[in-house]
Structure 1
Amino acid sequence: MNSEQTLISLDETVDRETLIHQSAYIKKLRPLLPPEAFEPDSSKLAILLINLGILLLGWGIADNLDRWPVYFLWLYLPLAAIMGNSIIVLLFSSHDLMHGSVQKKSALTYPIAFLGLSMLLMPPTQWKSLHNLVHHNTTNSLADPDRNYLHQQPDTWGKWIQNLFVPSVEVNPLWLIVGMAGSWAVHNFRNVSSVLLFNDKSVDYVPAAFTVSKKDRLTIALECLGILAIHLCILFYLDFNPIKVTLAYILPIAIGHAGAMFYIFTNHMGCRMTSINDPLINSASLRVPKIFDLLHFNFSYHTEHHIFPSINSNYYPMVQELLEIHYPQRMNLIDAGEAWRLLRETPRHYKDEVTFTDSLGKISVNCSILEEYKG
């Protein structure tokens, strides 16, 4: 780490080589935001429940697919796409729910989050530990389970699969398609197995292992069984019929997971590592068509979320405006298509905190490439 990359005061003019801790941004921007920005928005709970209803409706219609003429089955595809979007919405609404921006903590928070995350195969207790506590406090650092692998890390099965699936200069387009649909499941399995089988920070097939308490470890195991039961119930309801299962179960999940992974891949994987949690440097926000911000709770404003995890997501654009005023040209703000292109054209392992390299360590690309193209 360069000696200049240290925590600084708010009043100091800085360039992108100097890191600022998240808490400094909060101290600067919080007084400039209206109090209602930090009030829970219960309307998103209704949207979560509506999208659960969409999935139930889709499965109800699919129960009759075996009676449809084969040449009419394509008519189900638009509904499968809508169901896939509902799975994305369930992830992002559950995400906001567990950050406390949807409702104040209540007895309903846990069961609703469990249902919302079940189609993402994610135990909510693991999500709370992995995402809320570890990822948000150690974003894109050596301790972050969601970062790219280091080139120096062992060539384990986890690293091999990630190198095969994630967007990079090395990835085969066919494997990338598989990876878009399957990376979320791999990510879940990698972390769940690390916690349930070992619960030790020495586990080497994850980018960075984390641990949970004995109580949470048992809860995660029980939640996994509950999620498995939900999916088996869906498959039983669809009679394990190949047509029903393909169109109403596999296809919506593949679409939903791929849509979520597009955001997740671009959130941090094109950014450099930081030893100080500086969201404007280790995270990226996307410019997307407004319809996607409307559908997905402004999830494209990811840097803003990392500064204020529990803020009402309707106020992310206001946070972005304040960042552009008080920290001009500092954040990674980039068109979604450009961010995706850069991920495809650069390697995905960290050689060091500011350099990407390929799986063989032969290519070196400065991580600032995202910053250079953000305009």
Structure 2
Amino acid sequence: MNQYKTFGWYAARVTPHLPKKAFKPVPMRLFGGLAYLLISIAGIMTISLYDMNLWIYLMISGVLGACFAAMGFLGHEILHGTVVRNKMISSLLGAVAFWPLTTGPRLWKKWHNIEHHRHTQDEHKDPDAWFTVEAYNKSKLIRLIYRLPFVVRAFFSMLSLAVTFTAHSIKMFFSYIKDFKPGKQPAVWLQFVLPWASWIGLLLWIGPLKWLFAFVIPVLIANAIVMAYISTNHRLNPLVPVNDPLANSLTVTVPKWVDVLHFNFSYHTEHHLFPGVNPKYYPLVKAKIKEMWPERYHEMPMQKALALLWKTPRVYFEKDELIDPKKAVVYGSLGNGLNGLALPSKHEKNSSPGSLKAQKNKAKKAQ
């Protein structure tokens, strides 16, 4: 991409083509959330009150995990103000929706709505951005991890998706709690402690075996589902000097019925362009973007995006490329040479032997 544009630049050109109702809240989405909530309560109570075959417990755990993830997707909508506009009500509903993922609404708004959306793929300001060669060079732990064979790193990276959201949420709490005014910190602490207290209370009531099926396995499944989207949202995109959603975000495609179950969470470029528009209307936004800037827009099937995550390293080199420091092999990012086979970037493949050697030497210095 030759020139980055701000999300406001794109929004100003797409907005006139959207219906006015697209900018209004859609409270009917709460009925889907209510269904997930009731199923979750029923599943937890069934495990808690009845002694059944472990395979039945496991099936219920799968349903609970799917419900926990979907509630998180709806909570994301609610806390962006696209379901109800009343701040007190949206915070309450958001707290309920994010309860299984143990993330408080005030923390989420600070971490996601403010920091991530304002500074998407900014290597210094985006709390969700992956690290650069410079950061790699400063961390003994990361350098130690990158000494492992690539396939081992890739396997454990994908496996870690089952815990990443919860772990990152805890990290964000301790990173941002000091940024809240002293008078608001008790509420943020309460929103952090209450979900964990309730789940630990459930453990004390039903015992560790049933708790494994009522909470641990479901939350691992929920993490994996949520992170399958979140990990593909930006990790294949370049780091950027301008918050350009067509450059720094990826929309993945999934079957229509999955979009229905997951509240259109797959439309991520559209979300970064219009976070205040309910995802119900993102297909309209997508159609207009593809009409106006087809060469800038990034989309691919979910399974292909996950495969590319497996095949590429997660260390940024020169902002628009990814590098495996162990092998000093450089890969492109989306819009900068990345292709379905995750081959070395176009920049590297077209380099002369001398410039390629210099590039690899520069990479090796990071080890």
| Same-fold call, TM cutoff 0.5 | yes
CA contact (8 A) 1:169 1:347 kept: no
Greater mean alpha carbon deviation, residues 335-344 or residues 76-85: 76-85
- Aligned-residue identity in percent: 27
In the other structure, the counterpart of 1:132 is 113
Gaps of 5+ in 2: 341-367
CA contact (8 A) 2:238 2:334 kept: yes
How many Å apart are 1:218 and its aligned residue? 3.4
CA contact (8 A) 1:181 1:258 kept: yes
In the other structure, the counterpart of 1:234 is 202
3-state SS of 1:63 partner: helix
Q: Write out aligned runs for 1:6-17 (5 A).
A: 16-17=1-2
Q: Write out aligned runs for 1:34-183 (5 A).
A: 34-65=19-50, 67-68=51-52, 72-142=53-123, 143-153=125-135, 154-155=138-139, 171-173=153-155, 175-176=156-157, 178-183=159-164
How many Å apart are 1:139 and its aligned residue? 0.4
| Matching residue's letter, 1:240 | G
As a proportion of its length, which structure holds more helix? 2
CA distance in 1, matches of 2:253, 2:180: 36
User: In the alignment, does 2:275 pair up with 1:309?
Assistant: yes
TM-score (norm 1): 0.83
CA change 1:79–1:289 in 2 (3 A) is: same
3-state SS of 2:316 partner: strand
How many Å apart are 1:229 and its aligned residue? 1.5
CA change 1:212–1:162 in 2 (3 A) is: farther
Question: 1:129-169: per-residue Cα shift (whole Å, max 9, x none)?
Answer: 11001111110012101010122113166x589979xxx86
- From 260, 282, 285, give the equivalent of 1:319: 285
CA contact (8 A) 2:161 2:224 kept: yes
CA contact (8 A) 1:163 1:348 kept: no
- From 240, 247, 252, give the equivalent of 1:286: 252
How many Å apart are 1:325 and its aligned residue? 0.6
CA change 1:235–1:289 in 2 (3 A) is: same
CA distance in 1, matches of 2:166, 2:19: 39
How many Å apart are 1:172 and its aligned residue? 4.6
In the other structure, the counterpart of 1:21 is 6
How many Å apart are 1:21 and its aligned residue? 0.7
CA change 1:236–1:53 in 2 (3 A) is: farther
- From 159, 163, 181, give the equivalent of 1:213: 181
CA distance in 1, matches of 2:236, 2:326: 19
| Matching residue's letter, 2:153 | V
How many Å apart are 1:368 and its aligned residue? 3.5
| Matching residue's letter, 2:88 | A
Question: 1:317-373: per-residue Cα shift (whole Å, max 9, x none)?
Answer: 111100111111211111111111111111101122112123547232122378654
How many Å apart are 1:87 and its aligned residue? 0.8
Greater mean alpha carbon deviation, residues 255-264 or residues 349-358: 349-358
- From 170, 191, 215, give the equivalent of 1:223: 191
| Matching residue's letter, 2:33 | L
CA change 1:307–1:371 in 2 (3 A) is: farther
CA contact (8 A) 2:145 2:153 kept: no
How many Å apart are 1:24 and its aligned residue? 0.7
3-state SS of 1:356 partner: strand
Two-structure CA RMSD over aligned residues (Å): 2.4
3-state SS of 2:317 partner: strand
CA distance in 2, matches of 1:333, 1:300: 10
In the other structure, the counterpart of 1:5 is none
CA contact (8 A) 1:151 1:358 kept: no
Greater mean alpha carbon deviation, residues 127-136 or residues 177-186: 177-186
Greater mean alpha carbon deviation, residues 112-121 or residues 139-148: 112-121
Greater mean alpha carbon deviation, residues 358-367 or residues 103-112: 358-367
| Matching residue's letter, 2:139 | D
Question: 1:241-296: per-residue Cα shift (whole Å, max 9, x none)?
Answer: 41x11222111111111100000000000100111110001000011111110111
3-state SS of 1:365 partner: strand
Which stretches of structure 1, 4 residues or more, deviate above 4 A after TM superposition? 159-164, 369-372
In the other structure, the counterpart of 1:13 is none
TM-score (norm 2): 0.85
How many Å apart are 1:222 and its aligned residue? 2.1
Gaps of 5+ in 1: 1-15, 200-210
How many Å apart are 1:215 and its aligned residue? 3.6
